[in-house]
Structure 1
């Protein structure tokens, strides 16, 4: 209470909005086109997807790694504005139990846009999983305004803007 009254406390202001960049090189897809109803019907949240051209997955935003799945197929990042972003590499890749995936971060790590998060073997994913597509969704979308999509068709990891998010 006193902190609010006297303006004490955290002097860092959260950004009003953030640009979310592509986590991979490849073709940008509407989330509705992802061949998994959990993502295509936005059960986990709104977002976008990328069909990767290679196995390097980078941070699409500045923030903190809040979850690294033990199977290394997915990473959760809390952005500076508080958005919780899930980057899920491939579909049914959890069944690979980490085979073909290498993590370059751990929970609690601070990341900047373009920092390498994971490397994965796309050929192995094509062989053992149903898809290589990378859905990227906002897990706490109820705390955000509707996403503003940039309209990109092709993406360069860490460089191509995919959407802008503004937290409420």
Structure 2
């Protein structure tokens, strides 16, 4: 909890988030095309690559990567780099996905609604439930204002 309230750990965490978001500016466009940030643990920076050949090539760029990252952070925070194949992992510099949009389904009023009112024993739970079901489609709601008019089955099929 102290990380969120302030201190050196909080400033370092915020700086790391900024680094992950500006990854291309931190290490350069050429390297950013091959290496994506996956996170960190202690003094180890975890980076993702697309394939094993790129992983082998990036081993030769470790000193340069560490210089650029630590230079951007203004402190020697990382001393090692671990490369992983990205696969299905999402890198930390990826754009955030938009939230899905859910549509409220149209209320469809059954064509023969209310035909069974009065045919059940009025004290039975089934009769009370059916009467409430009929009221749902015919009258305004008791709470939250009016209810929009429901379409019948045949009207819903036309639209």
TM-score normalised according to structure 2 size: 0.23
Bigger Rg over Cα: 2
More strand by share: 1
More helix by share: 2
